[in-house]
Amino acid sequence: MDQAKKWIKEIPVSFVVEIGRDQKKIEDILNWRKGVTIQLNDSKSNVLNIYVNNKLYGTGSVLRKPTGEMDLKVTQKRLKEEEVLKCLEEY
Protein backbone atom coordinates (compact mmCIF):
# COMPACT_ATOMS: atom_id res chain seq x y z
CA MET A 1 0.00 0.00 0.00
CA ASP A 2 1.43 3.35 -0.92
CA GLN A 3 1.76 6.15 1.63
CA ALA A 4 -1.21 8.16 0.28
CA LYS A 5 -3.65 5.26 0.75
CA LYS A 6 -2.29 4.57 4.22
CA TRP A 7 -2.74 8.22 5.17
CA ILE A 8 -6.26 8.55 3.76
CA LYS A 9 -7.44 5.48 5.67
CA GLU A 10 -6.80 7.36 8.93
CA ILE A 11 -9.18 10.23 8.10
CA PRO A 12 -12.46 10.04 10.05
CA VAL A 13 -15.54 10.36 7.83
CA SER A 14 -19.22 10.63 8.58
CA PHE A 15 -21.75 8.24 7.22
CA VAL A 16 -25.53 8.29 6.97
CA VAL A 17 -27.91 5.42 7.65
CA GLU A 18 -31.26 5.88 5.94
CA ILE A 19 -34.37 4.06 7.11
CA GLY A 20 -36.63 5.17 4.27
CA ARG A 21 -37.74 7.92 1.94
CA ASP A 22 -40.95 9.59 0.99
CA GLN A 23 -42.35 12.92 -0.12
CA LYS A 24 -44.82 14.95 1.88
CA LYS A 25 -46.62 18.19 1.27
CA ILE A 26 -45.29 21.20 3.18
CA GLU A 27 -48.73 21.49 4.78
CA ASP A 28 -48.36 17.98 6.23
CA ILE A 29 -44.84 18.69 7.54
CA LEU A 30 -46.02 21.90 9.22
CA ASN A 31 -48.63 19.84 11.09
CA TRP A 32 -46.09 17.38 12.54
CA ARG A 33 -45.97 17.43 16.32
CA LYS A 34 -44.11 15.45 18.93
CA GLY A 35 -45.27 11.84 18.86
CA VAL A 36 -46.57 11.87 15.27
CA THR A 37 -46.00 8.68 13.27
CA ILE A 38 -44.79 9.21 9.71
CA GLN A 39 -45.19 6.36 7.25
CA LEU A 40 -42.37 5.89 4.75
CA ASN A 41 -43.15 4.39 1.34
CA ASP A 42 -40.04 2.24 1.00
CA SER A 43 -39.48 1.11 4.59
CA LYS A 44 -41.30 -2.25 4.41
CA SER A 45 -38.20 -4.40 4.10
CA ASN A 46 -36.40 -3.16 7.26
CA VAL A 47 -33.26 -2.72 5.13
CA LEU A 48 -31.22 0.37 5.94
CA ASN A 49 -29.16 2.10 3.25
CA ILE A 50 -25.64 3.12 4.32
CA TYR A 51 -24.10 6.14 2.57
CA VAL A 52 -20.47 7.25 2.77
CA ASN A 53 -19.80 10.66 1.22
CA ASN A 54 -23.27 10.57 -0.41
CA LYS A 55 -22.50 7.28 -2.22
CA LEU A 56 -24.37 4.10 -1.43
CA TYR A 57 -21.87 1.94 0.46
CA GLY A 58 -24.20 -0.94 1.26
CA THR A 59 -27.17 -2.03 3.32
CA GLY A 60 -27.64 -3.07 6.90
CA SER A 61 -30.03 -3.78 9.71
CA VAL A 62 -30.43 -2.56 13.28
CA LEU A 63 -29.34 -4.74 16.18
CA ARG A 64 -30.83 -3.72 19.51
CA LYS A 65 -28.83 -4.55 22.62
CA PRO A 66 -30.52 -5.50 25.91
CA THR A 67 -29.35 -2.10 27.25
CA GLY A 68 -31.48 -0.33 24.61
CA GLU A 69 -28.50 0.82 22.56
CA MET A 70 -28.54 0.14 18.84
CA ASP A 71 -25.81 -1.08 16.51
CA LEU A 72 -25.71 -1.32 12.74
CA LYS A 73 -25.01 -4.69 11.13
CA VAL A 74 -23.71 -4.39 7.56
CA THR A 75 -25.55 -7.02 5.53
CA GLN A 76 -24.36 -6.13 2.04
CA LYS A 77 -21.32 -4.18 0.91
CA ARG A 78 -21.73 -2.63 -2.53
CA LEU A 79 -18.50 -0.65 -2.82
CA LYS A 80 -15.08 -2.25 -3.01
CA GLU A 81 -12.19 -0.81 -1.00
CA GLU A 82 -10.81 0.99 -4.07
CA GLU A 83 -14.21 2.61 -4.73
CA VAL A 84 -14.51 3.78 -1.12
CA LEU A 85 -11.03 5.32 -1.23
CA LYS A 86 -11.88 7.00 -4.54
CA CYS A 87 -15.08 8.56 -3.18
CA LEU A 88 -13.13 9.84 -0.16
CA GLU A 89 -10.50 11.38 -2.42
CA GLU A 90 -13.30 13.20 -4.30
CA TYR A 91 -14.42 14.74 -1.02
Over the stretch 28-61, which tens digit does the pLDDT of each residue have? 999 999 999 887 776 556 789 999 888 889 999 9
- Give the per-residue pLDDT at 75: 93
Integer angstrom CA distances of residue 36 from 6, 29, 53: 46, 10, 30
Sheet holding 48-52, edge to edge: 15-18, 48-52, 55-64, 70-77
Integer angstrom CA distances of residue 39 from 44, 58, 61, 71: 10, 23, 18, 23
* DSSP helix/strand/coil, 90: helix
This prediction's pTM? 0.68
Distance CA 13, CA 28 (A): 34
Indicate the range of 12-16, 20-24, 38-42, 69-73 predicted with least confidence: 38-42
